[in-house]
Structure 1
Amino acid sequence: MKKKVLAALLSTAMVAALLSGCGGKADEPAAPAETEAPAETEAPAESEEPAESEAPAADAGSMSFEIVSKGLQHEYWQAVKQGVESKAAELGVTVNFVGPDSESNIDQQVQQLENALNATPTAIGLAALDTESVKGQLQTCLDKSIPVIGFDSGVPGAPEGSVLANCSTDNYAAGALAAEKVYEAVKGRIDGTVRIGVVAQDATSESVVNRGLGFIDKFAELAVADGHTATVVGNEKYISDSKCEKTDGANVVIDVRVPAQVTSDASLADVNSLLGEDGIIALYGSNEHSANAIISAAENHSEIGVGDDKVIAAGFDSGSAQIEAVKNGVLLGAITQAPVAMGEILVQTLYDAAQGNPVSDADTGCQWYTAENIENPEIWDNLYGK
């Protein structure tokens, strides 16, 4: 009996197998469905590619950048702000550009950076007046994974990894360029002991310090190459950081003056003091504020100007007062940055960093302008005070 049952079961299984095999051939319409399956699997992948390429544009509207500058009172910062806002509009991001009332008001800038952190931005741009004062906030940015990009003076000595890149002029090289031009104008007058005055707004910000050091080091280098001896006197920061070997009895004395407070009156007093020194043959103002102090002094000191019997003066930046002083022969020339381009590059770098893309330092450039070349398009386009 058991054998009959087993035989019946085997027969049934064989029939089912045969029917199944025949069914696979008979269901030919099912084949296209199988060949279409890969297409259905690939379709979502194809539709995901446009979504990925469109992601930055879709996310841009939700991006907000807090930008803390050194101030708003000078035309230079207004030009940077112009570049920032132009690029932000192009990318479709929101920006908030702030700065202290004075470039000596470190506490106010620290508070503005605190406010920027409290706004929970996508990224932060910072031109620090004093790195030491903002190290705590930068560490917070690092802890919260908020990208920080430095600009103008940047944030030298910031906590490692807290500042991803810096967008600025190579300030040291720019100062050296000014020194080359001034030295060329006065080298024939170095007879006996002469004094070169450097008027610096401060001894804390990277940009101002490096513009001063670049000038000091290059001027001393050129003087020594011509057989002179050189030394640096005045502000201790510039004395200690300069590459110029300190030499007693040097015949080229580079005298650096830094006011106790960043005010027009204080810097004007520094210029007047330098003009009272024996052997003064040149002056250099390492930013708009300091250059304007020299220009103000020229109103009462006719010895400042261009000529063999004049105190040769040079400036940095391109506010309206400097442009006129260069045109009128009060200043030999000045260094112009590209502040609008700096603002544009800053926002683009913030945008890239916020997207997680690699970023790197960007040199935003500089040029020496004089009464002779000021109207050349490559110069004129970078003068923000025109």
Structure 2
Amino acid sequence: MKRRLFAALGAAALALSACSMGASEDASTTGADDDSIKVGVLLKTLSSEYWSYVAAGVEDAAEDLGVDVQLQGPASETSYDEQTNMLETMLADDSMDAIVVAPLQPDSVVAVLGDTEKPILFVDTDAPYENKVTYIGTGNEEAARAGGEAAAALAGEGAEAAWIGVVQGNTTTDQREAGFVAGLESGGVTVTAKQYAEGLADKAASVMENILTSNPNLTVVVTGNDEMASGAARAAQSAGRELIIFGFDGIQAGVQNVIDGTVTGTVAQDPYAMGYRAVESAVAAARGETLDEFIDTGSRIITSENAEDYLATLREQLGE
């Protein structure tokens, strides 16, 4: 199955998301033909595996729908000023019919957007922008809760767990933390440590070493992404500790770690679908259609039972 087959699925799903009023409008009503629509897509970065799936979805949607998409992203997920400058340039471009943003700093992005009349959509990470068209992404708290429940089921009541997040105060991190903690606690597992490692494997390994020293009864670790799960696993192995470790994102490296037994599981998002549906939604917004405020691209728990099949799906999405 080629990744292009997602087009039909995405189009059908988007049709269900559009409200009847918007769906009844056509290009002649709004003055925007699909082949003349220009969409700006600004991601958090283009230099990571996770964002390569989002970019692949964006590029496929642009080709399938025949629209002009300007895809950009800063050098890293800490290049805040660079993303701000890119957004300012997009906003100043009068040819842009709609803009999709994955905000590094939601509040800062909202300040830059101001009172622009361009349709603004958010992907992967939501932002408190009053005039946004929609948010396309994962229900992070609900997805993380399912991961916490899965980890708790393996650990059993009375177990102790640690949470390693990306950056405290980030919308996505906070939602995942709340979900994982709720899922663990619902299964009788107590979270005894919370630390943050900026999404980096090496920093997570260092944080994990400290957590293990101060929490000798720890048996579970849940993390905000797959890279940090890998770092935590490395530290646990060095300390001779066998832990239940869950990551988040479901990138190839994370799924391979599950297959290898290094990590117990991961909560997989669908970044390819995020990218594809973001472009579909932006085109719909440019044509004057009304969309749901939240378009959920779903998630699933990956364990040793389904990791091989899911890895094959990821490779197909990147055309490998």
TM-score (norm 1): 0.69
Query: How is 1:297-316 mapped onto 2 (pairs within 5 angstroms)?
Result: 297-298=235-236, 300-303=238-241, 310-316=242-248
Preserved CA contact (<8 Å) 2:165 2:196: yes
1:153 paired to 2:125: yes
Structure 1 residues 167 and 213, CA gap change in structure 2 (3 angstroms): same
* 2:274 equivalent to 1:274: no
Pair 1:207 & 2:145 matched: no
Task: Could you tell me which runs of 5 or more consecutive residues in structure 1 were left unpaired when the two chains were aligned.
Answer: 1-51, 224-229, 231-251, 304-309
- Aligned pairs for 1:1-386 (under 5 A) are 59-120=33-94, 121-141=96-116, 145-155=117-127, 157-158=128-129, 160-161=130-131, 163-187=132-156, 190=158, 195-223=160-188, 252-259=190-197, 263-277=200-214, 278-298=216-236, 300-303=238-241, 310-360=242-292, 361-376=294-309, 380-381=312-313
CA-based RMSD of the aligned residues comes to: 2.5
SS in structure 2 opposite 1:346? helix
User: Structure 2: how far apart are the matches of 1:271 and 1:172?
Assistant: 23
Q: Give the conservation status (yes or no) of the 8 Å contact 2:256–2:307.
A: no
Gap runs ≥5 in structure 2: 1-25
Deviations 1:248-271 (A, max 9, x none): xxxx34321113x55443332112
Q: Report the alpha carbon displacement of residue 59 of structure 1 after superposing the two structures with TM.
A: 2.1
In structure 2, relative to structure 1, the CA distance for the partners of 1:62 and 1:138 (3 Å cut) is same
Q: CA shift at 1:299, angstroms? A: 5.5
Q: Secondary structure at the match of 2:238?
A: coil
Query: Among the aligned pairs, what percent are the same residue?
Result: 26
Tell me if structure 2 keeps the 8 A contact 1:80–1:339. Answer: yes
Corresponding residue SS for 2:185: helix
In 1: Cα distance, 2:151 partner to 2:295 partner: 27
TM-aligned CA distance change 1:262 to 1:108, over 3 Å = farther
Offset at residue 57 of structure 1 (A): 10
Contact persistence 1:268–1:297 (CA under 8 A): yes
CA distance in 1, matches of 2:31, 2:261: 50
Aligned to 1:7: none
Task: Find the residue that maps to 2:307 and give its secondary structure.
Answer: coil
Distance 1:281 1:374 in 2: 22
Alignment CA distance shift 1:112-1:262 (3 Å):
farther
Residue of structure 1 equivalent to 2:6: none
User: Highest CA radius of gyration, 1 or 2?
Assistant: 1
1:301 to partner: Cα distance: 3.9
> What is the TM-score of this pair, normalised by structure 2?
0.82
Which amino acid is the alignment partner of residue 207 of structure 1?
T
Give deviations 1:322-376, integer Å, cap 9, x for gaps: 1221012111111111111111111110000011110112100001111112234
Verify the 8 A CA contact 2:103 2:126 in the aligned structure 1.
Answer: yes
* Structure 1 residues 187 and 324: CA distance shift in structure 2, 3 A: same
Give, in angstroms, the shift of residue 207 of structure 1: 2.2
